[in-house]
């Protein structure tokens, strides 16, 4: 939220300084525009992380519009997908916000000061002073070593203690002297939002086109997976999946996985439902078996609606409601609770449309027939909604949701999906259990999704059912997980087919 507010403030300031001269400096770039200025725009967007490849041409093609729109969203501009003069003025300014939410001027490398540096950072030790000390403290705050940002630019004894803790997390000499390489480690590529560390990647990707798909139309899919480093990839001509595992430096048992997905309209989510003696989706199987049978490339746990059906109609536990459940345009359940319902899950609705777009709704907004009339292909009824249209769900903090407080603050395994635009999603899967401090609270997931700059974010079924499946493997489990010990579910969300 702070980064979005910062972006909006910057844009207000930029309006004063750019508006007068922007129209003279830039022509409007839209679908069909060709020229060096189009190429320069794309290169700048690549530098800021909005394109995933530098194989860029000078044509404002079909793929350029969504990239421009994403930039506009992250920078608080009107989301038109057209690069007008003002959009370009922001794009080429030092106040532009990068794809990860970082302002360009905040990502500028610090010049070397004194001996011991590597051209970017000087060695820092107790009794040093300066802006670089302050930046190092900010990095330690981001990683959880400080609890407040109320600090100065002095390298004091308290900072020494925290630097030692950071060095211990890296299994390096813990002397409290912060080397240039350690500052790069802390402030550079391996540090991500949420305060996690990812192993350095040595994966060499194949040649990609502008949209990040395989450039060679005849090439076989690129598939890569390595438990040791925590990187997994699947890339073909229509689908691009990247999974990266992160760990917390102070809690090595705490890990999470960020799965970013790009796909063309031909790649549609597939509901994968359990099979057995009862109606499909009302049986119980381990999620890997369900995903294997569906031939999924990637699969995650869905709303597990069949469990609520079983508890209500088999165990006669009437507190359980299925909600509105639609799969492939077929209504599987249409049983929303009344206004007094405050149990968990809250039965909010993720509606998936045939074009790959997603909208989120609260239980009272629509019934099953209205969703069908709106053209919804699938609904997943769980929640809570974390973010809708860029705004945090205030019901998470409402007194009327007090019965949900324990579910929200409990540290547990969780899985949520974030939505940017049709065909662009991110799934965050946090490991954990109910017996140790290795999980996350719901607010952690909200913060992560905010920092990722998603338009919508929705909580899926978690706890012991949490599963991130990739090409026949349970990525968030042990490498050779025993399927018989996995918690059984009634369905999965499948993306891509092997």
Q: Is 251 exposed, middle or buried (0-12, 13-18, 19+ CB in 10 A)?
A: middle
Helices (H), 2-130: 2-25, 36-47, 64-74, 85-91
pTM above 0.85, yes or no: no
- What's residue 116's pLDDT? 33
In angstroms, what CA-CA distances link 401 with 340, 346, 388?
A: 11, 9, 18
Place of tokens 């890990």: 255
Please tell me the distance from the alpha carbon of residue 139 to that of residue 249, in angstroms, as a whole number.
12
- What's residue 331's pLDDT? 95
- The residues pairing with 404 across neighbouring beta strands, listed in sequence order, are none
Classify 435 in phi/psi space as left (phi over 0), alpha (psi -120 to 50) or beta. Answer: alpha
Length of the chain: 498
In angstroms, what CA-CA distances link 343 with 6, 137, 313, 346, 409?
A: 36, 42, 18, 6, 15
The phi and psi torsions of 306 (rounded to 5 degrees) equal: -65, -30
Angle between helices 157-169 and 180-187 (to 10 degrees): 80
Please tell me the distance from the alpha carbon of residue 279 to that of residue 368, in angstroms, as a whole number.
19
DSSP string, 327-392: ETTEEEEEE---TT---SS--EEEEE-TTS-EEEE-TTS--HHHHHHTT--EEEEE--EEEETTEE
- What's residue 144's pLDDT? 66
The alpha carbon of 223 is separated from its chain's Cα centroid by a whole number of angstroms, namely 21
Q: What angle do CA 410, 411, 415 make, to 5 degrees?
A: 105
Helix (H, G, I), strand (E, B) or coil at 394: helix
- What's residue 242's pLDDT? 96
Laid out side by side, the sheet with 468-470 consists of: 270-273, 491-497, 296-301, 468-470, 473-474
Helix (H, G, I), strand (E, B) or coil at 306: helix
Within 10 A of 372 (CB to CB), how many other CB atoms are there?
A: 16
492, 287 Cβ separation under 8 angstroms: yes
Angle between helices 180-187 and 131-142 (to 10 degrees): 50
- The residues pairing with 191 across neighbouring beta strands, listed in sequence order, are 197
Q: Which value, to the nearest 10 degrees, does the dihedral of the CA atoms of residues 442, 447, 453, 455 take?
A: 30
For the chain, list the domains and their CATH numbers: 2-104 (1.10.101.10), 109-188 (1.10.101.10), 222-497 (no CATH)
Place of tokens 């040649």: 207
Q: CB-based contacts of 157: which residues, under 8 Å, 6+ apart?
A: 126
Please tell me the distance from the alpha carbon of residue 50 to that of residue 71, in angstroms, as a whole number.
7
The alpha carbon of 30 is separated from its chain's Cα centroid by a whole number of angstroms, namely 28
E strand or H helix at 289: helix 287-294
pLDDT tens, the chain, 498 aa long: 444 444 444 454 444 444 445 555 789 999 889 998 999 999 899 888 888 777 788 899 888 888 898 888 778 788 888 999 889 988 988 888 887 667 776 543 333 333 333 445 678 888 887 777 888 888 787 666 776 666 777 888 889 988 998 888 777 888 999 988 788 777 643 333 445 677 777 889 999 998 899 999 999 999 999 998 899 999 999 999 999 998 876 666 678 999 999 999 999 999 999 999 999 999 999 999 999 999 999 999 999 999 988 888 888 877 788 899 999 999 999 887 776 677 788 899 999 999 999 999 998 899 999 999 999 999 999 999 999 999 988 777 665 554 455 566 677 889 999 999 999 999 999 986 434 446 787 888 888 898 888 999 999 998 889 999 999 999 998 878 888 888 899 999 999 998
Please tell me the distance from the alpha carbon of residue 391 to that of residue 102, in angstroms, as a whole number.
19
70, 49 Cβ separation under 8 angstroms: no
Dihedral over Cα of 350, 352, 353, 357: its sign: positive
The phi and psi torsions of 451 (rounded to 5 degrees) equal: -65, -25
Closest to 463 measured CA to CA, from 447, 492, 440: 440
Helix (H, G, I), strand (E, B) or coil at 109: coil
Please tell me the distance from the alpha carbon of residue 78 to that of residue 67, in angstroms, as a whole number.
13
- 7 token code pair: 């972006």
């Amino acid at each position: 939220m702070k980064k979005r507010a910062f972006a909006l403030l910057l844009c207000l300031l930029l309006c004063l300084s750019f508006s007068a001269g922007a129209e003279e400096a830039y022509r409007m770039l839209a679908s069909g525009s060709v020229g060096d200025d189009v190429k320069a725009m794309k290169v700048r967007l690549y530098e800021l992380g909005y394109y995933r490849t530098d194989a860029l041409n000078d044509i404002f093609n079909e793929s350029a519009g969504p990239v421009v729109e994403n930039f506009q969203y992250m920078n608080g501009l009107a989301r038109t997908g057209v690069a007008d003069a003002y959009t370009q003025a922001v794009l080429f300014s030092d106040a532009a916000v990068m794809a990860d939410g970082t302002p360009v001027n905040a990502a500028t490398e610090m010049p070397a000061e004194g001996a011991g540096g590597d051209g970017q950072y000087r060695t820092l030790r107790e009794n040093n002073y300066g802006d670089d000390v302050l930046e190092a403290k900010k990095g330690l705050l981001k990683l959880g070593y400080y609890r407040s940002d109320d600090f100065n630019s002095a390298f004091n004894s308290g900072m020494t203690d925290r630097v030692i803790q950071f060095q211990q997390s890296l299994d390096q000499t813990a002397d409290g002297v912060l080397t240039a390489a350690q500052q790069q480690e802390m402030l550079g590529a391996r540090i991500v939002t949420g305060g996690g560390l990812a192993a350095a990647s040595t994966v060499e990707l194949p040649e990609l086109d502008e949209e990040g798909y395989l450039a060679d139309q005849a090439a076989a899919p690129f598939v890569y997976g390595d438990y040791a480093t925590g990187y997994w990839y699947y890339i073909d001509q229509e689908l691009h999946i990247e999974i990266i595992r992160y760990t917390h430096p102070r809690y090595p048992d705490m890990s999470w996985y960020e799965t970013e997905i790009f796909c063309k309209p031909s790649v549609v989510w597939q509901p994968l439902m359990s099979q057995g003696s009862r109606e499909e989706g009302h049986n119980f199987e381990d999620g890997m078996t369900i995903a294997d049978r569906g031939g999924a490339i990637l699969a995650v746990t869905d709303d597990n609606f069949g469990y609520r059906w079983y508890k209500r109609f088999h165990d006669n536990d009437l507190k359980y409601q299925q909600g509105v459940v639609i799969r492939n345009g077929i209504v599987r359940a249409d049983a929303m609770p009344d206004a007094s319902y405050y149990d968990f899950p809250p039965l909010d609705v993720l509606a998936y449309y045939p074009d790959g777009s997603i909208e989120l709704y609260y239980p009272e907004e629509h019934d099953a027939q209205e969703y069908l009339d709106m053209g919804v292909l699938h609904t997943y009824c769980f929640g809570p909604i974390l973010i809708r249209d860029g705004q945090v769900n205030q019901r998470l903090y409402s007194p009327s949701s007090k019965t949900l407080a324990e579910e929200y603050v409990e540290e547990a395994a969780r899985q949520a999906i974030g939505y940017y635009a049709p065909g662009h999603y991110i799934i965050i899967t946090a490991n954990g259990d109910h017996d140790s401090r290795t999980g996350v609270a719901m607010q952690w997931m909200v913060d992560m999704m905010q920092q990722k700059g998603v338009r919508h974010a929705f909580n899926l079924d978690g706890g012991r059912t949490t599963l991130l499946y990739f090409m026949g493997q349970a990525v968030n489990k042990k490498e050779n997980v025993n399927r018989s010990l996995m918690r059984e579910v009634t369905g999965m969300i499948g993306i891509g087919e092997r």
